[in-house]
Chain A
Amino acid sequence: MSSVQSVAPARPNFLKMLLGSPILGPVAALLMASIFFAVMSPRFLSGPNFSLILQQVMVVGVLAIGQTLVIITTGIDLSNGMVMALSGVLMASFAAQKGLNPLLAVLLSLVVAMAFGLLNGGLVTGIGLPAFIVTLGTMNIAYALTRIYTTSTITNLPRELTFLGETFNIGGTAIANGTVLMLGLYVITWFVLKYTPAGRSVYAVGDNIEAARLAGINTKRVLLGVYTFAGLSYGIAALLQVARTGVGDPQAGQTSNLDSITAVVLGGTSLFGGRGSIVGTLIGALIVGVFRNGLQLLGVESTYQVLITGVLVIAAVSVDQLTHRK
C-alpha cells in the first residue's frame, strides 16, 4: 500500500458502488415511493403489507426475468402472458381433470412453455424475423390454443398446485412460498449473468451480434438459449399464477406482456439491447407493486393506478435517456 503506483484492489465501498451503478435511479425511485406512501398511509410500512406487495408482484416479476434477457439481446417478447395462460390452464387441467400426477402435469406444462420459447428463438435466429413480429404471432397462437382447449375456469386443484400460494411465518409475518421462489430465480439469473460465460454472451449478442459472432460466440445458440430460458420462466410464472389464484384461468395474463416490459424498463434496461440488469428488473417490478399497493391503501381507483403506471414508465425512460445523453 506504500507505493503510489500500485493499483490496490478496489475495496467494496457500498456507497460508491451504488453511485456508479445503473440501478441507482430505480433504487432511488423505489425508496422515494416507499417513503411517500409510508408518510401518507400508516398501514403501508408493515411486514404483512410488504409480504402482500411481494405476492402481488411475483407473477409479473417472474415473467419479467425472461423478458429482461430477451430485451438485453435487443428482442422483445409479447407472447409471455399468453404462454403463461396456456401453460397454467394445461397444468390445472392435467392435474385436476385428467388425473395426471400433479408434478408430471407441472413438468409437461413447463415443457410446453419452453417449446414456445424455443419456437420464438428458432424463428428469430433461423429466419431472422424481428422478435416483435414473431412473438406477436406466437402470442395469438398461444391465446387461441388456450381458448380452443377450454373457455372455462378449472377449479378443485390438488394441493401441489397451490402450495406456492401458501404462506409460512417469520416473526408473525406470513410469507408466500412463491415469493421465495421468485427471489431465488432472481438470484440464480443474476449469478448466471454476472459470473458465467453464458451470461457474458447474452450482453455481447445484445451489443452487436455480428461482432459477437466474430469474437467466437455461437450467437444462434445464445439466442435459442435465451428464448427457451425465457419460456421456462413463463412456465414457472404460470405455476405461481395458478397457485396464487387457486384456479386454472384461460383469461389470465392478458396484459402481462406489457406489465413485464414495464418492469424491465423501469429497472433501467435499454430497449436497444446490450445494457441492462436483472436486479433492476426486480426493483422495477417492486416499483409498480409499491405504487399499486400504496395507491390502493390511499383509496385510489384501479383505473387511476394504471394511469399512474403509464406516467411512471414515460418519466423513467425520459430520465434514463437524459442521463445517458452526452
Chain B
Amino acid sequence: MTTQTAGRVLLEMKGIGKSFPGVKALEGVNLSIREGQVHALLGENGAGKSTLIKILSGAYTRDEGEIFFDGQLADIKAPADAEHLGISTIYQEFNLAPNMTIAENIFLGHLPTKAGTIDWATVKKRSRELLDSLEVDLSVDALTGSLSVAQQQMVEIAKALNRNTRILVMDEPSAVLSERDIENLFAVVRRLQASGIGIIYISHRLREIFELADEVTVLKDGRYVDTKQVADVNMEQLVNLMIGRDLEDVYPKRHGEPGEVVLEVSHLAQAHLAKDVSFQLRACEIVGFAGITGSGRTEVARVIFGADKPTAGEMKLYGKPFRPRSPRDAINQGVALVTEDRKRQGLLLKLQVYFNTTVSGLDRLTSFGVLRLQDEMTLVQQWIKNLRIKTPSPEFMVVNMSGGNQQKVILARWLSLGIKVFIMDEPTRGIDVGSKSEIYQTMADLAEQGVAIIMISSELPEVLGMSDRVMVMREGRMVKELSRAEASEEEIMLYAVGHEEVAS
C-alpha cells in the first residue's frame, strides 16, 4: 500500500510554535503531507495534536514557524484562509445544524443562487452526487439531527468534499463509531486518498494507523519527535516514540491477597436499568465490571454512591446496613465515585485545581467555620506532587488541562479524603498512555493499602490487566463472575453480549 513516491508535497508545516498563558503548547513541530497520502498524527493527550490542527485550520494563529501550501508560503490566520486553500477539518464534535436537511448542511454558508434566489435544484443534485460518491444511501432531505453518528460523519465528509478539499483533517474519527462503521469509514478514507486528497488522520488506536496510514508523525509534550513510514515501524516502536517507554510496563504487578468483605450488595435493582445485582467486594482487591454500554454498570455504581435511589435490594458496608441518601452521605462513609463523564459530572471545569481538589473535603480544612487557606494550599501542593499533576499552579483552571491531568485532579479529590471503597467508571477514557499507566499505578497502590476498588471499563485489555476478578453485566443483570485465571477477552465478550447473539 505504501508508495514512497506518492504524489507531490501538498502541505508543509515547519517549526510551528504556539504558547498559551503559562503553557508552551507547541514548539518546533514539522508536518508534511503529500497528495493522496494518509498521514497519521500520533501522540498522547496534551502532546499538541489538537493545537497543531487548530493552527492548520485557522482556529488558532501560530506564534512561530511557516506553512507552505503547494510550495507557496501560506499565511493562515483565520478559518476562512484555510478554507480558501482547501483545508477542511472534521472535529470530534460535528459542526452540523441538526434542524436542517443533509443538503442544506452540505451547502451551509455556500448556497448557490440563481436570479437572486437559492438554486435548490443544484443543491439537491450536487448533494445527491456527493452522497453517492461516498456510497451513502440517505435522502438529501433527511434532517441531520435524525441521523446516526456515523451518518453525520459522512455528511461532514460530503460537506468537506463540496468545498474542493485538498487536505482533510480528521480528529479521532473512529472514536465515536462501532466496529462496522469504522470499516465503512476506512473504505471512504481510501477512496478519498485515491482521488488525490491528502488526509491527516488523528487516532489513539495504533491498530488503525497500521491498517490505514502511509506515514506517521509523532508528537510528545508539544514537540516534534519523528516522522516514519508506517511500513518501517512496529507497534512497540511507535509506543516507545509516543511515551518513551515500553508497553509491558503499563499494568503494575500486584501481590496483595484480598482481605475482609467491605461491601456486600444483595438483589439490588434500580428502575429497569439494573436487576437483582448481588456481589461482594473485599479489601485490597480490584474488581473489573465488564459489559457493553447500557448494561447497567454505571447505574449500580450510582446507587452505591448515593446518587440514585435503589428500587429494591440492600447493601452492607463492613457488615452494617448501608443506605446512602446522597453522595455526601456515601462520601462520609468512605465511598467515592470517579464518574464516567469527567467534564459533565466530575470536574468544576471553570474553577481552579485547588478548588476541585478540596471541594469534597472542606470540613477537614475548616476551623470554627473558617477555611484554613494556607493548609489547603499545602495539601493541594502535596497532591500535585504525589500524583505528578502537570499544572503551572494550583490556581490554574482545570478546563485548560489535558484529560489525564484532569483525571488526576479528581483522584486527588478522593484520595485526600482517605476513602475505603473506590468506584471508578471508565477511569482512563480519553486519557493518554502515560497518564493511564500512572493512574493504574495509583489504583494498584490503593489496593495494596487496603482500599476496595470497582473498575468499570469497556476496554478489555484494561479489565484483564488490572482486575483480580471480573464481573460481567448484561441487560441490567450480573451474568457471570470470572476469576483472573478464567478471564479472557473472548470469554468476557461471550457473556457481555449473550450466547444467543454470538451463535447467530
Contact = CB atoms under 8 A, between A and B. Distances in A.
Interface of A: 7, 9, 195-197, 200, 203-204, 207-208, 210-218, 274-275, 326
25 contacts: A195-B373, A196-B366, A196-B370, A197-B362, A200-B355, A200-B371, A203-B348, A204-B351, A207-B348, A207-B349, A211-B344, A211-B346, A212-B348, A212-B359, A213-B307, A213-B326, A214-B307, A214-B337, A214-B346, A215-B348, A215-B413, A216-B360, A217-B359, A275-B350, A326-B20
B142 to A, nearest CB: 33
A203 B351 contact: yes
A140 B470 CA distance: 59
Given A195-B371, A195-B373, A208-B344, A213 B327 contact: yes
B477 to A, nearest CB: 25
B369 interface: yes
B281 interface: no
A57 to B, nearest CB: 29
A218 B350 contact: no
Determine chain B's interface SS by DSSP, over half rule.
Answer: mixed
B174 to A, nearest CB: 27
A218 B371 contact: no
Given A210-B344, A214-B337, A216-B328, A274 B351 contact: yes
* Among all A-B residue pairs, the 3 with the closest Cβ atoms: A197-B362, A207-B348, A216-B328
A196 B351 contact: no
B378 to A, nearest CB: 10
A274 B363 contact: no
Contact of B359 (A7, A204, A275): A204
A200 B359 contact: yes
Interface in B79-129: none
Nearest to B330: A216
B212 interface: no
A211 B327 contact: no
B327 A214 contact: yes
A215 B359 contact: yes
Contacts of B381: 7
B350 A207 contact: yes
B347 interface: yes
Contacts of A203: 348, 351, 355
Contacts of B413: 215
A270 to B, nearest CB: 9
Nearest to B329: A216
B339 interface: yes
B331 interface: yes
Interface string B255-290: 000000000000000000000000000000000000
Interface in B18-55: 20
B61 to A, nearest CB: 11
Given A197-B366, A274-B348, A214 B339 contact: yes
Nearest to B337: A214
A204 B348 contact: yes
A210 B373 CA distance: 25
Contacts of A216: 326-328, 331, 359-360
Interface of B: 20, 60, 305, 307, 326-328, 331, 337, 339, 344-351, 355, 359-360, 362-363, 366, 369-371, 373-374, 381, 413
Contacts of A211: 344-348
Contacts of B355: 200, 203-204
Nearest to B356: A215
A274 B331 contact: no
Given A211-B348, A274-B348, A218 B359 contact: no
Contacts of A200: 355, 359, 362, 371
Q: Which of B60, B331, B350: most chain A CB closer than 10 A?
A: B350
Contacts of A204: 348, 351, 355, 359
A207 B327 contact: no
Contact of B370 (A7, A195, A207, A208): A195
Nearest to A203: B351
Given A196-B369, A274-B351, 4 more contacts: A197-B366, A204-B348, A211-B344, A275-B350
B351 A207 contact: yes
Contacts of A7: 381
Nearest to B381: A7
A196 B371 contact: yes
B298 to A, nearest CB: 12
Contacts of B326: 213, 216, 218
A194 B331 CA distance: 24
Contacts of A213: 307, 326-327
Contacts of A275: 350
A308 to B, nearest CB: 32
A218 B328 CA distance: 7
A320 to B, nearest CB: 14
B306 to A, nearest CB: 9
A63 B63 CA distance: 46
Given A200-B355, A217-B328, A208 B349 contact: yes
Contact of A197 (B331, B345, B363): B363
Given A195-B370, A196-B371, A203-B355, A214 B345 contact: yes
Contacts of A208: 344, 347-349
Nearest to B351: A207
A113 B273 CA distance: 44
B345 A210 contact: yes
Contacts of A274: 348, 350-351
Contacts of B351: 203-204, 207, 274
A196 B369 CA distance: 6
A55 B326 CA distance: 46
B341 to A, nearest CB: 9
A173 to B, nearest CB: 34
Given A207-B349, A210-B345, A274-B350, A215 B327 contact: yes
A216 B327 CA distance: 5
B402 to A, nearest CB: 16
A204 B331 CA distance: 17
A320 B383 CA distance: 33
A195 to B, nearest CB: 5
A302 B351 CA distance: 41
Contacts of B349: 207-208
B413 to A, nearest CB: 7
Contacts of A215: 327, 348, 359-360, 413
A88 B346 CA distance: 44
B427 to A, nearest CB: 15
Nearest to B395: A20
A204 B359 CA distance: 8
A208 B373 CA distance: 23
Nearest to A199: B371
Contacts of A212: 348, 359
A1 B323 CA distance: 51
B281 to A, nearest CB: 20
A321 B371 CA distance: 32
Contacts of B307: 213-214
Nearest to A197: B362
Contacts of A326: 20, 60
A208 B413 CA distance: 16
